[in-house]
Structures are given as C-alpha cells and as structure tokens.
C-alpha cells in the first residue's frame, strides 16, 4: 500500500488556486485522497471536498495549460495511484460528472451534437458506491477477479471469490466473458463487518465503501465477511466464441443487463431502483429524481445515477476519451457523508427509561441540511468504536433518516482527544442506572419520566409547590401514591402522606398547604406544569394570555393556535394534539380545583379584530418589548426572572431575553452587563428596577 504524505486536510471552502505552488499542492492532496479512497484506507477528504479540489485543479489547468502536471487527477482514470499486475482487456474507465438538471441537459445536447443525431434511447441506473471490479468467467466458471487499478491494469483479488453475493462461482450457461460491475457492502453487511473487525481488535471502517475496499484486498483474515456485487457491463474475452462476442458488442445496454441477470449475475434490476430505458431527457431527469428520492431507504449506498446512451451504435459513434466514455455520465447526488468533529455527548432518557447517548457535532452541511446531532446507539458501541471527544468522525445522513456516526477517522487524531464520560446516575431523575443490558436504562424505567415530569410541574416557575423536591417525588412515585400529576391533587390524602417515611405532621401539613396554594396559580403556570411539548414558560404565558381560559385553549384548532405570537404552522398541530392527549389530566386538575383562567386576559372572541388577530394589549406597557437583566432590587427584589416576565406581560408588554433595535426598554438591575451595554450602544431606554416598579405600580398590589 502506498503511504500517503502528511498533507493537511483541505478546508470546506476552497478558493481558486492562486499559483503553481498551490496547484502542485492541490494535485498532491488529491492524489493522496484518491490513494486512500481506492486502497481501502480512510478517506482524508469527504466526497464533496474531493470533487471541489478536482474542480479547482481542472480550472487552474484550463487557465494554465502549459503547467499541467502529468500526474494530475483531472486527466487520469480515477484510482491511478494503485499499481496492479493484471492487464485489462479494454481500459476500465471512469465517468464524467454532472451536478444538476441543467448540466445534464447541456451534456446530453453536446453528446447529440457530437454524434450528429438524437440519442435513440437512454439507460438510467443507480451509481453504486463501491469499487469497480472485473470478473472473468471461463466456460461459465469464475476464474479471476481483478480490481480497476489504474484503469489499464489491476490487482488480482481472486482470493475474494466466494465472499461476494451476486457474483456466482458458476453461471447458468458455460460462457466465456468478462463481467464488470461494482462490489460494495450493504448497510447490514457493513455493520456486521465492523462488529467482527472490532471484536478481532481492528479499527472499525469509516464507511461501507472503505470496508468493501479493505475487505476485497485483505488476504488472510481470520474471519469472513460478505460483500455484494452489482453488474453493469458484459464484454467478450479473447476466448469468447465469435457469435457471443458479436452479440455482446452489438447489444444495447439494457439487453446486456437482462442477459447478465439471466446468467445469474446480480444487477440493479433486483432492487427498487432498477435500470430503465427511456427516450427523452425529461424522462431521464424524472427517473433521476425518483432514484434520488429512494436513496435514503436503499439498503446500500449510491452516490449518483449513471446515464448511458443505450444503443451500441450511439456508443460507438460517441467513442471514449482517455479518462471516460463520451456516451455516459454520472449525475452526482449530494454527498451524504461528511467528516466533522465530535464535540460532546448528551445522554437523553426516553419514555421507557432508556438512556441513549447522542453525539453533538460541529455543525456540518449534509444533503441540504445542517447536521448538529447524530445517534450513537448505546454506551457499548461508543467503547467498541473507541470514540473520543474531539475526534474527527464520519457522519452519514440521507433523506429523513436520523444522522449517524460511522466511525472515528483515526489517522486525524492529535492526541488531545478526551474520553467520553458515561453517566453514573440517570441524567433525568438522578436514580441508579441498570447497565446489565447493552442499552442502559434508568432503574425507574417508565417511572423515570413520571419523577421528572412531576418534579418539573412542582418547580418554581410552574406550580411552585414548596416541599415537593425531587426526593419527595421519588418517594411518592415509588410508594405508588402518585402515578400521574393529578394524583397529587385528587388522590393523595393527608393520612397517606403521614404514612410515608420522614413525613411528620408538620411536613405533611406544609405540603398540603403548598398543594392548596398551587390550586390558585394562574392558568399559564398550570399549562406550563403540564409540560406540553413545544411550549415552555414564556410560550405557556402567551397561550394563556391569548385564550384566557383553559376551555378556549382546548377548543382551539391548529389554525386558531397559530394566532398566538410565535406559534407557526409546524408547532400549532403538535400543541393541539398534545392538549388532546392530556385531556383526562386537565379534566382532573380542573375538577380538583386548579385555576383554569388567566387573570387580566380576555378570551379571543372579545379580544380580536375582524381578522382574528389579537387587538393590542392594554396596560402601562402596552405594545412595548421589554428586556430584564441584572439583579432586581426594591419592590421587585423577590421576583424571579420568570415572575418579572409574567409581570411585563400582565402589564401589556412582551418580554424578551435579548436586546435588539426593536427593544423598547431594558430594565437593568445590579450587575447588568452585556445587555446593558448593547442597549446603550443602540440608544435604547434604560430603566432601573425602582423606575420600572413605579411604571407597573398598579399591578404590584
Ligand atoms: S458504467 C466506462 N454503471 O462509477 C465506465 N458505472 O465514477 C462505465 N459505477 O468507474 C461505467 N455504478 O466503477 C457504470 N451503474 C453503473 C455504475 C458505475 C457505479 C462506477 C464505476 C465507474 C465509476 C465512475
């Protein structure tokens, strides 16, 4: 294996190459990446970065034709870095790329100009993301397997015969010919391969492509992993009988594919993205779109779609260049794999108490969206793959699937990477963790959520139930007295509380009094206590102020919900559905005497204009956007930030956490820092807590 020189990894944005030195460096870099790619090492650059690099090289060469280096990747068959010793009958070429419908249409038009007629029919197939291989059959028996190598000669990898599904040791007919196609690992094969490899003390492969490349070349493995073959070409060998040779040379591509299937060779026809033959560019583009849409669900990787002139006559007239045929092109799809850094690991507890690690990534653009998180399966998986914080990792995402980390890119380690800390207690409720299975689980299982949700409801910014801290909630849940939030108010009795450990008369009476006080909390806090998905403290207040009563909130459909400031088309139906799910709990809370109205708010029927929009709020802060910062003093000293925000809103204003040019006033208490400075720089009115207290004096009572 060629060793790759230590060249730095190219940054995502690649400026034009400025001079001959930059050009030479780029050529070196591309060669190193290509070597890693074709030899089964880990890619130094992801596909996008490699494509950008080669394009920059090609652009430089167009501008400086006299400086073109002989080993530039732009004019070469890809994979040229590997030397092989078995000559190919005809060169194994690469393909030119297009990246959009427009580029494809331009390419098709230029092909038709070149052949002087319309292309009779097009063959559209998935571009399998693996390695090209030539399989020679003699009298129907698989005799030799050869990698592409530099395109003119490749490496003999016949030792892999028998490990590649879809490439039978014997064909259904005793023909002599060469099959060309792609060897890859399906997702399932890849996962199994990595499991075996790590169990044998090896480093996991970063992705299925590298896994296939490494496995194909490996001769003496103690274990055996399967790969899959997809054929995309049949050609005669020297010993092929004449009639068959003529058939193979004259057949349209579609007919060759059918013939290959008939011999027992796997082709894309066995998949949901079978090759099709169509006659217009529009139909080609429609099929391209279909294959692209199916990509995420495919059990193997594709990196594009190959479009070929189907008829042998069209192919012959078009001919081939030294690097690629002129009658075929690869329509590249956006890369679904990128290298980024693992910056953190979060541990989330699911509804059943499963504690699942989630990777926090340096944001990276993949397949049209920014990826910040990826699943990490379970703790054992982290250990097995030896992931560390700060690692460069290969992240895979396609379509709507949850992004996942394939593997750390071990050769990019600096030594500064940190071990990933596993939680010692449940990150949600603080209980012990059952680590006996691969997937860790909170000892409280489903009750973990109950402890967390009841503790949340009792919190200072929700129902503010003094004396109902986490440990008390655990006690109530474990004793079976509380199985849902309403139980606190309509089921638990004084006698039952007295029966609990560490609950004397005084604590019991205090807790009963605190529960009573909670009954008088405004609707906004009851709503917040319910923990409706998509709402927090300020959203709960906005909803409560908008609708004024729980009945009005429950009567709202998604459209009505969208009238609330900050609720859009996406969030509204989620909130409506959540409230419907909580119906029984809400009924019980109402029956138990909790307040279901918001003081000072008016129901929508009375508070909206003809368009159904809220009419402006009345009150001393009507129409004002208010930011509170620093410590409150004087009459406001006791108020939490949440209570300050409630006050602002009761006074007709809108509370906000950040200062912008739209802010009306900033209440700056002691120790106010950057927000105060920003307000000053924007010329926004600053008031002290005392001045503010005077503005809202009527509401302070
Ligand atoms: S046809 C003359 N069809 O993509 C080359 N190639 O980037 C004709 N590939 O070298 C190749 N799927 O290794 C063809 N359905 C498909 C393909 C396919 C993957 C590979 C092949 C080729 C490379 C070019």
| CATH code of the domain containing 357 | 2.40.50.140
Q: Is the pLDDT of residue 182 over 90?
A: yes
Q: Other C-beta atoms within 10 Å of 312: how many?
A: 17
Angle at 209 between CA 207 and CA 211, to 5 degrees: 70
- 612 sits in the region (left: phi over 0; alpha: psi -120 to 50; else beta) called left
510 Cα to the center of ligand 1, angstroms: 76
Of 200, 84, 215, the residue nearest 160 (C-alpha): 215
Distance CA 7, CA 45 (A): 11
Q: Is the pLDDT of residue 88 over 90?
A: yes
pLDDT of 73: 76
Tokens 């930011």 map to which residue? 627
Asked whether residue 327 falls in the same domain as residue 394, the answer is no
Residue 302 inside a domain? The answer is: yes
pLDDT of 650: 87
| CATH code of the domain containing 58 | 1.10.287.610
Nearest atom of ligand 1 to the alpha carbon of 324? 2
Of 299, 308, 312, the residue nearest 329 (C-alpha): 308
Asked whether residue 365 falls in the same domain as residue 484, the answer is no
Query: What confidence tens digit (pLDDT) does each residue in 583-594 have?
Result: 999 999 999 999
HEC per residue, 558-620: HHHHCCCCCCCCCHHHHHHHHHHHCHHHHHHHHHCCCCCECCCCCCHHHHECCCCCECCCCCC
Residue 36 inside a domain? The answer is: yes
Asked whether residue 509 falls in the same domain as residue 557, the answer is no
Residue 305 inside a domain? The answer is: yes
| CATH code of the domain containing 192 | 3.30.470.30
What is this structure's pTM? 0.58
Q: How many helices (H) and strands (E) does the chain have?
A: 26, 25
Tokens 């750390």 map to which residue? 408
Q: Is the pLDDT of residue 454 over 90?
A: yes
Q: Is the pLDDT of residue 289 over 70?
A: yes
Distance CA 130, CA 227 (A): 10
Nearest atom of ligand 1 to the alpha carbon of 320? 2
- Strands (DSSP E) contained in 166-275 are 177-184, 227-235
Please identify, among 297, 332, 367, the residue that sits at the C-terminal boundary of a domain.
332
Residue 7 inside a domain? The answer is: no
Q: Which residue has the least CA distance to atom 9 on ligand 1?
A: 127
Asked whether residue 565 falls in the same domain as residue 631, the answer is no
Check if the beta carbon of residue 225 is closer than 8 Å to that of residue 144.
Answer: no
Query: What confidence tens digit (pLDDT) does each residue in 504-553 have?
Result: 999 999 999 999 999 999 999 999 999 998 888 989 999 999 999 999 99
Residue 127 annotated in active site: yes
624 Cα to the center of ligand 1, angstroms: 63
Q: Which residue has the least CA distance to atom 22 on ligand 1?
A: 94
What token pair was written down for 204?
């996991």
Residue 170 inside a domain? The answer is: yes
Q: Which residue has the least CA distance to atom 23 on ligand 1?
A: 94
Pocket test for ligand 1, best of 127, 307, 316, 331 (most atoms within 8 A of CB): 127
Nearest atom of ligand 1 to the alpha carbon of 127? 12
Q: Is the pLDDT of residue 84 over 70?
A: no
Q: Which residue has the least CA distance to atom 1 on ligand 1?
A: 232
134 Cα to the center of ligand 1, angstroms: 12
Of 360, 392, 358, the residue nearest 375 (C-alpha): 358
Q: Which residue has the least CA distance to atom 10 on ligand 1?
A: 94
pLDDT of 50: 80
Query: What confidence tens digit (pLDDT) does each residue in 333-342 have?
Result: 988 889 999 9
Q: Is the pLDDT of residue 64 over 90?
A: no
604 Cα to the center of ligand 1, angstroms: 63
Mode of pairing for the β-strands spanning 302-309 and 328-332: antiparallel
Query: What confidence tens digit (pLDDT) does each residue in 190-236 have?
Result: 989 988 888 888 878 878 888 999 899 888 777 889 999 999 999 99
3-state secondary structure at position 83: coil
Q: Would you list the DSSP string of 406-454?
A: EEE-GGG--S--EEPPPPSS-TTT---EE-SSSS-EETTTTHHHHHHHH
| CATH code of the domain containing 643 | 3.40.50.10190
Check if the beta carbon of residue 139 is closer than 8 Å to that of residue 76.
Answer: no
What token pair was written down for 527?
């709503």
Pocket, ligand 1, Cβ cutoff 6 A: 93-95, 125, 127-128, 132, 182, 232, 306, 325, 328, 330
286 Cα to the center of ligand 1, angstroms: 20
| CATH code of the domain containing 542 | 1.10.150.20
Asked whether residue 586 falls in the same domain as residue 484, the answer is no
179 Cα to the center of ligand 1, angstroms: 13
Residue 486 inside a domain? The answer is: yes
Asked whether residue 68 falls in the same domain as residue 179, the answer is no
Alpha carbon 68 to its chain centroid, in Å, reads 40
234 Cα to the center of ligand 1, angstroms: 13
Pocket test for ligand 1, best of 94, 306, 329, 331 (most atoms within 8 A of CB): 306
Residue 37 inside a domain? The answer is: yes
Asked whether residue 508 falls in the same domain as residue 570, the answer is no
Q: Would you list the DSSP string of 467-524?
A: T--HHHHHHHHHTTS-SSTTHHHHT--HHHHHTSTT--HHHHHHHHHHHHHHHTS-HH
Structural domain boundaries, residue 597: 523-606
Q: Give me the count of residues in the chain.
A: 701
Sequence-distant (6+) residues with CB within 8 A of 291 are: 124, 126, 273, 302, 305
Query: pLDDT confidence of 40, banded at 50, 70, 90?
Result: low
Pocket test for ligand 1, best of 126, 151, 182 (most atoms within 8 A of CB): 182
Question: What is the phi/psi pair of residue 256, to 5°?
Answer: -65, -40
Separation in Å, CA 614 to CA 551, 559, 563, 699 = 18, 14, 8, 22
Asked whether residue 407 falls in the same domain as residue 355, the answer is yes
Beta bridge partners of 407: 394
Residue 672 inside a domain? The answer is: yes
Catalytic residue (choose from 127, 332, 338, 571): 127
Q: Which residue has the least CA distance to atom 12 on ligand 1?
A: 127
4-28 residues labelled b (16+ CB within 10 A) or e (exposed): beeeeebeeeeeebeeeeebeebbe
Asked whether residue 362 falls in the same domain as residue 393, the answer is yes
Q: Is the pLDDT of residue 556 over 70?
A: yes
Q: Which residue has the least CA distance to atom 21 on ligand 1?
A: 132
Separation in Å, CA 279 to CA 123, 246, 304 = 9, 25, 20
Percent of the chain past pLDDT 70, that is, above it, reads 93
Query: pLDDT confidence of 613, banded at 50, 70, 90?
Result: low
Sequence-distant (6+) residues with CB within 8 A of 282 are: none
609-624 residues labelled b (16+ CB within 10 A) or e (exposed): eeeeebeebebebeeb
Nearest atom of ligand 1 to the alpha carbon of 131? 13
Sequence-distant (6+) residues with CB within 8 A of 341 are: 361, 362, 390, 391, 392, 393
Asked whether residue 362 falls in the same domain as residue 474, the answer is no
206 Cα to the center of ligand 1, angstroms: 22
318 Cα to the center of ligand 1, angstroms: 17
Domains held by the chain: number: 6
Please identify, among 606, 634, 657, the residue that sits at the C-terminal boundary of a domain.
606
Q: Which residue has the least CA distance to atom 2 on ligand 1?
A: 93
pLDDT of 269: 96
Asked whether residue 31 falls in the same domain as residue 65, the answer is yes
Of 227, 218, 133, the residue nearest 185 (C-alpha): 227
Please identify, among 332, 347, 366, the residue that sits at the C-terminal boundary of a domain.
332
Interval 240-260 mean pLDDT: 97
Angle at 486 between CA 482 and CA 488, to 5 degrees: 50
Pocket test for ligand 1, best of 51, 82, 95 (most atoms within 8 A of CB): 95
Separation in Å, CA 675 to CA 586, 624, 637, 655, 664 = 39, 17, 19, 14, 13
Asked whether residue 508 falls in the same domain as residue 551, the answer is no
């Amino acid at each position: 294996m060629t060793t790759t020189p230590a060249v730095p990894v190219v940054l995502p944005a690649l400026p034009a190459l400025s001079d001959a030195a930059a050009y030479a460096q780029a050529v070196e870099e591309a060669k190193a990446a290509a070597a890693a790619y074709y030899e089964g090492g880990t890619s130094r650059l992801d596909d996008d970065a490699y494509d950008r690099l080669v394009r920059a090289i090609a652009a430089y060469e167009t501008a400086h034709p006299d400086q073109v280096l002989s080993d530039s990747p732009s004019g070469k068959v890809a994979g040229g870095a590997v030397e092989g010793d078995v000559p190919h009958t005809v060169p194994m070429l690469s393909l030119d790329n297009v990246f959009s419908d427009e580029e494809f249409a331009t390419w098709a038009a230029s092909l038709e100009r070149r052949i002087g007629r319309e292309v009779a029919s097009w063959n559209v197939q998935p571009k399998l993301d693996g390695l090209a291989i030539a399989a020679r059959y003699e009298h129907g028996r698989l005799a030799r397997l050869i990698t592409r190598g530099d395109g003119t000669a490749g490496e003999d990898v016949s030792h892999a015969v028998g490990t590649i599904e879809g490439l039978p040791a014997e064909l259904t007919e005793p023909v002599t010919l060469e099959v060309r196609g792609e060897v890859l690992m399906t997702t399932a094969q890849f996962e199994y391969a990595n499991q075996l490899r790590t169990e044998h003390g090896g480093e996991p492969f970063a992705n299925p492509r590298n896994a296939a490349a490494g496995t194909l070349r490996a001769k003496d493995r103690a274990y055996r992993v399967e790969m899959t073959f997809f054929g995309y070409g049949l050609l005669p060998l020297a010993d092929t009988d004449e009639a068959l040779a003529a058939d193979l040379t004259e057949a349209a591509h579609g007919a060759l594919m059918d013939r290959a299937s008939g011999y027992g060779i796997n082709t894309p026809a066995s998949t949901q993205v079978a090759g099709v033959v169509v006659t217009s560019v529009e139909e080609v583009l429609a099929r391209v779109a279909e294959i692209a849409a199916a990509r995420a669900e495919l059990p193997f990787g594709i990196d594009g779609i190959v479009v070929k002139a189907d008829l042998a006559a069209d192919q012959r007239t078009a001919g081939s260049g030294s690097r690629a045929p002129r009658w075929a092109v690869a329509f590249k799809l956006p890369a679904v794999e990128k290298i980024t850094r693992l910056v953190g690991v979060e541990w989330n507890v699911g509804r059943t108490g499963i504690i699942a690690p989630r990777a926090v990534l340096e944001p990276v653009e993949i397949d049209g969206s920014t990826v910040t998180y990826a699943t990490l399966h379970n703790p054992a998986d982290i250990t097995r793959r030896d992931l560390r914080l700060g690692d460069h990792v290969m992240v895979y995402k396609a379509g709507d699937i949850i992004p996942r980390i394939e593997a750390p890119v071990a050769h990019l380690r600096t030594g500064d990477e940190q071990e990933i800390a596993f939680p010692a207690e449940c990150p949600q409720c603080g209980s012990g963790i059952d680590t006996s299975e691969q997937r860790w689980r909170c000892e409280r299982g489903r009750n973990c959520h109950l402890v967390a949700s009841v503790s949340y409801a009792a919190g200072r910014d929700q129902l503010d139930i003094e004396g109902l801290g986490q440990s008390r909630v655990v006690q109530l849940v474990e004793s079976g007295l509380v199985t849902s939030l309403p139980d606190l108010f309509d089921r638990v009795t004084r006698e039952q509380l007295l029966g609990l450990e560490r609950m004397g008369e005084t604590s019991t009476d205090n807790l009963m009094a605190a529960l009573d006080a909670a009954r008088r909390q405004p609707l906004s806090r009851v709503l917040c206590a319910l923990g409706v998905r998509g709402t927090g403290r300020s959203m709960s207040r906005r909803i409560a102020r908008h609708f004024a009563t729980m009945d009005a909130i429950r009567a709202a459909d998604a459209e009505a919900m969208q009238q609330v400031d900050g609720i859009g088309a996406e969030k509204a139906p989620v909130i409506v559905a959540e409230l419907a799910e909580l119906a029984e709990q809400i009924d019980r809370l109402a029956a138990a005497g909790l307040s279901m109205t918001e003081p000072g708010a008016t129901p929508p029927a009375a508070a909206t204009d003809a368009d159904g929009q809220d009419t402006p709020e009345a009150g001393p802060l009507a129409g004002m956007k208010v930011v509170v910062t620093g410590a409150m003093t004087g009459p406001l000293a006791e108020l939490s930030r949440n209570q300050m925000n409630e006050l602002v809103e009761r006074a007709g204003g809108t509370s906000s956490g950040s200062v912008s040019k739209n802010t009306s006033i900033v209440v700056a208490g002691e120790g106010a820092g950057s927000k105060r400075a920003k307000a000053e720089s924007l010329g926004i009115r600053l008031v002290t807590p005392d001045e503010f207290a005077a503005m809202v004096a009527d509401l302070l009572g």
